[in-house]
């Protein structure tokens, strides 16, 4: 007797994950395609002829299974895809690579952070944890006015936002007054949570997990009470390393890339390296790292795997150590110097080959734009593990699409030759 929900094999999971990224669609649209798009179902191996029982995928089955691929598996898949790509693109086995490296921001699924709206997020999630206990244990006392807590805190948060955005005389006093009231409500909630926390049950492992989540949100609530008070009431400038940009996606960084629009992005920087065939041979998420810090780990990985003829970067990656490291293994390194060049450096940058490779470096920006158009401008998935997996699947989808385009072009040329041969005969 079969019990439970039918699963999916790895091939079906991979196909659906690639369709999602190539089309940049939601799980609802993916669910529809998985059940009604004949070609996709044929690729997955589930489309059968007339008279056979039809295989249908449940929505939650797709969501649960597509999210099972981990970052290590996806990275290994990407290596296999790149090696397959070289069999398609390369005319000679030993052909050296011409690499280009650049970085860009991948946004996480967060709203724009302020200390007062993050305080509200922390408060409402603390209340949500209490609500879970009340649903499971209706006999728990002391939370009869739960809805009032939500309403009062949300109204106070909105009043603070309105006070900050409005103008006119006495703005500073109005802001401080609304913030004081908001903080008084938040502290009252914090005190109530502290008093009643010990009375909440710990009957099973799920209760313990809810307690741990509640402790985390209470810590964040306390932190943002402190930050808001220091910034508005005490006039302090909050150090950058004390700031939190999301209570849900804690890995999120405040990224300034020197652009006019958007001037700030919230997420993680991603460094990618592409070759002359426009395949992405390496990608790395930057953990509070600058471009300069990424050169050494990328070089150590790729120099050991590939024969590299040239490698280009922009000015953000330059320092003496990085350039010296690469010049010991790569025939031509294009890494423009930050600031003023001496005569020798200026002569190098004025050389024809240097200028030619520097101009070709813009191809990596085109690759980045295509990645963003395929869904890598913003990650809709929650959690850092899923963020990393989403990036890896995006790179795999990009590379497969490039390889597919080349295979179609090869087939088109073969058909053209065969057609001309038949005409000549």
Residue 105 shares a structural domain with residue 169: no
Which of 192, 217, 242 finishes a domain? Answer: 242
Which of 242, 277, 307 finishes a domain? Answer: 242
pLDDT of 269 over the 50 cut: yes
pLDDT of 228 over the 80 cut: yes
Residue 368 shares a structural domain with residue 265: yes
**What is the average pLDDT across 71-89?**
92
Domain that holds residue 182: 115-242
Asked if the structure places residue 152 within a domain, the reply is: yes
**What long-range pairs does 175-178 form, CB within 8 A, spacing at least 24?**
175/232, 176/232, 176/233
Give the pLDDT band (50/70/90) at residue 264: confident
CB 255 within 8 A of CB 105: yes
Residue 279 shares a structural domain with residue 405: yes
Q: Residue 146 — φ and ψ, nearest 5°?
A: -55, -45
pLDDT of 415 over the 80 cut: yes
pLDDT of 351 over the 90 cut: no
Residue 298 shares a structural domain with residue 196: no
What are 289's two structure tokens?
Answer: 């790292």
3-state secondary structure of 330: coil
Predicted model pTM: 0.88
Residue 138 shares a structural domain with residue 267: no
Q: Which residues contact 181 (CB under 8 A, 6 or more apart)?
A: 156, 159
Give the pLDDT band (50/70/90) at residue 51: low
pLDDT of 181 over the 90 cut: yes
Query: H-helix or E-strand containing 253?
Result: strand 253-255
Residue 265 shares a structural domain with residue 209: no
Mean pLDDT rounded to a whole number for the chain: 89
Residue 364 shares a structural domain with residue 401: yes
Residue 168 shares a structural domain with residue 217: yes
Of 13-22, 120-129, 213-222, the range with the lowest mean pLDDT is: 13-22
Asked if the structure places residue 418 within a domain, the reply is: no
pLDDT of 258 over the 70 cut: no
pLDDT for 1 equals: 40
Q: How far is CA 3 from the centre of its chain?
A: 36
Asked if the structure places residue 402 within a domain, the reply is: yes
What are 264's two structure tokens?
Answer: 């700030």
pLDDT for 353 equals: 86
Give the pLDDT band (50/70/90) at residue 425: low
Bridge partners (DSSP) of residue 104 are: 270
**Nearest C-alpha neighbor of 312 from the set 344, 348, 275:** 275
Residue 291 shares a structural domain with residue 392: yes
Residue 261 shares a structural domain with residue 399: yes
Q: How many domains does the chain have?
A: 3
Q: Residue 104 — φ and ψ, nearest 5°?
A: -155, 170
Asked if the structure places residue 421 within a domain, the reply is: no
Classify the C-alpha dihedral 42-47-48-49 as positive or negative. Answer: negative
Residue 76 shares a structural domain with residue 119: no
pLDDT digits (tens, 9 = 90+) for 361-410: 888 989 999 888 878 888 988 899 999 999 999 999 999 999 999 999 99
Residue 228 shares a structural domain with residue 160: yes
Asked if the structure places residue 180 within a domain, the reply is: yes
Q: What is the CATH number of the domain that holds 400?
A: 3.30.420
Asked if the structure places residue 2 within a domain, the reply is: no
pLDDT digits (tens, 9 = 90+) for 281-293: 999 999 989 999 9
Q: Can you tell me the distance from the alpha carbon of 212 to that of 50, in angstroms, rounded to the nearest whole number?
A: 53
Which of 34, 51, 66 finishes a domain? Answer: 66
pLDDT of 260 over the 70 cut: no
pLDDT of 262 over the 80 cut: no
**Quick one: DSSP state of residue 240?**
G
Asked if the structure places residue 425 within a domain, the reply is: no
Asked if the structure places residue 36 within a domain, the reply is: yes
**Nearest C-alpha neighbor of 101 from the set 375, 374, 365:** 365
Q: Residue 138 — φ and ψ, nearest 5°?
A: -60, -20
């Amino acid at each position: 007797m079969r019990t439970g929900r039918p699963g999916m094999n790895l091939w079906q999971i991979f196909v659906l994950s690639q369709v999602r990224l190539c089309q940049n669609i939601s799980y609802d649209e993916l669910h529809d395609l998985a059940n009604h798009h004949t070609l996709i179902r044929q690729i997955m191996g589930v489309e059968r002829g007339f008279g056979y029982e039809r295989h249908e995928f449940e929505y939650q089955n797709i969501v649960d299974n597509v999210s099972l691929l981990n970052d290590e598996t996806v990275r290994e898949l990407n290596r296999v895809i790149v090696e397959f790509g070289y069999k398609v693109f390369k005319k000679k086995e030993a052909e050296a690579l011409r690499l280009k490296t650049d970085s860009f921001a991948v946004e996480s699924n967060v709203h724009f952070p302020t200390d007062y709206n993050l305080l509200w997020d922390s408060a409402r999630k603390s209340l949500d944890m209490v609500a879970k206990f009340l649903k499971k244990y209706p006999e728990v006392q002391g939370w009869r006015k739960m809805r009032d807590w939500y309403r009062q805190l949300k109204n106070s948060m909105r009043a603070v936002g309105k006070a900050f955005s409005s103008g006119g005389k006495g703005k500073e006093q109005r802001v401080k007054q609304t913030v004081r009231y908001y903080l008084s409500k938040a502290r009252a909630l914090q005190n109530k949570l502290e008093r009643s926390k010990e009375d909440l049950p710990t009957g099973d492992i799920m209760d313990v997990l809810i307690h741990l989540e509640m402790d985390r949100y209470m810590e964040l609530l306390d932190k943002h009470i402190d930050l808001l008070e220091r910034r508005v009431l005490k006039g302090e400038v909050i150090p950058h390393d004390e700031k939190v940009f999301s209570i849900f996606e804690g890995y999120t960084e405040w990224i300034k890339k020197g652009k006019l629009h958007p001037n700030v992005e919230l997420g993680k920087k991603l460094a990618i390296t592409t070759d002359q065939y426009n395949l992405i041979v390496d990608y790395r998420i930057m953990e509070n790292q600058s471009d300069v810090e990424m050169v050494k780990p990328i070089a150590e990985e790729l120099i050991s795997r590939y024969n590299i003829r040239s490698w280009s970067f922009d000015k953000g990656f330059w320092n003496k150590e990085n350039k010296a490291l690469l010049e010991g293994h790569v025939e031509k390194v294009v890494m423009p110097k930050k600031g003023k060049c001496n005569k020798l450096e200026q002569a190098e940058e004025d050389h024809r080959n240097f200028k030619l490779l520097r101009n070709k470096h813009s191809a990596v920006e085109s690759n980045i734009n295509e990645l963003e158009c395929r869904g890598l401008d913003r990650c809709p998935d929650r959690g850092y593990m899923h963020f990393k997996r989403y990036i890896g699947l995006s790179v795999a989808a990009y590379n497969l699409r490039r390889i597919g385009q080349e295979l179609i072009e090869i087939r088109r040329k073969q058909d053209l030759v065969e057609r001309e041969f038949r005409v000549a005969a």
